[in-house]
Amino acid sequence: MKLINTIWEKLGSIQLTFYLITLMVVDLTTGFFFLKAHPHLFQPLNDTGFIKWATTYAKSNPYESAWLFILIFLMTILSVNTFACTTQRMILLVRHHGFADQKIRFILKLSPHIMHYAMLIMLLGYLVSYLTSQAWESNVLLPGKTVRLPGSSCQVRLTDLAIDYYQGKRLVHMQDRGIDVRAALCIQCEKGKEPVTGILGYNRPIGFRGYSLHLKDFAPKSKSGMAIRKYIQFTIRKDPGTGFYFTGMILFTIGLLLYLTNWLTARN
């Protein structure tokens, strides 16, 4: 029991935090130079997911990608350190103040610990995303045609495609070039049930049952020139980590509001 208590105390020490952050700075500095020298190696991470990338690109280039695995290891230890440190402070706070006396003041004092737990939840979300997210690239849709969502019976149909072309005079080279696109999509999973509709555009993804659709390309890009059929090209993603992100962000916002309230109360 004494050994477990000693390990628990060491895991929550500020000294360990300092060492981990120092090592992370060194590792990230090293990673910066590898990213600059080999951008083609790390670019696929955005599309393939970490597991697939690790078993292909990283496996073929172990020296250039080692810093990323070291970073994940250090961040895991730092997360454990933050959890242990925050929990130790929480236990002390409960023991000294308890729940009975000055409940509001006690809750306000929990604010920094709530924010720490929120950050851990968000980090967990990133880890889940890296390890389990899936991406399906280069899905092409023409008006009236459908594409099936991978792993489901749902069909995505392009019902309309509206393209805004530049008509100003300041940028001559952009004249009649497509600058914005709005793709009206209809997602049908079961016959007889109301389909889900949405507008897909740049920086305007559509979310549906754990999937997200992201616009990548469209045509025609110009009003002039050779006639080209209308179409969109998009990426389908499935990311189980998004729930953790939103939960962590909401919890962090609550902690921040409590912290500001505590600071204003103490000041007055």
The pLDDT tens digits of the residues spanning 62-84 come to 999 999 999 999 999 999 999 99
Q: Are residues 203 and 124 in the same domain?
A: no
> Which CATH number do you get for residue 224?
2.60.98
Q: What is the pLDDT of residue 214?
A: 93
Domain count along the chain: 2
Q: What is the pLDDT of residue 110?
A: 84
Q: Are residues 119 and 206 in the same domain?
A: no
pLDDT above 70: percentage of residues in the chain = 96
The angle subtended at Cα 236 by Cα 61 and Cα 229, nearest 5°, is 110
Q: Are residues 93 and 216 in the same domain?
A: no
**pLDDT tens digits for 162-206?**
888 877 777 767 777 878 899 999 999 887 788 899 999 988 999
Q: Are residues 102 and 220 in the same domain?
A: no
In which domain, by residue range, is 212 found?
A: 137-238
CA dihedral 76, 78, 80, 85 (to 10 degrees): -170
Return the axis-axis angle of helices 62-97 and 2-11, rounded to nearest 10°: 110
Average pLDDT over residues 46-63: 85
Q: Are residues 120 and 249 in the same domain?
A: yes
Residue whose entry in the numeric block shows the structure tokens 């993804």: 205
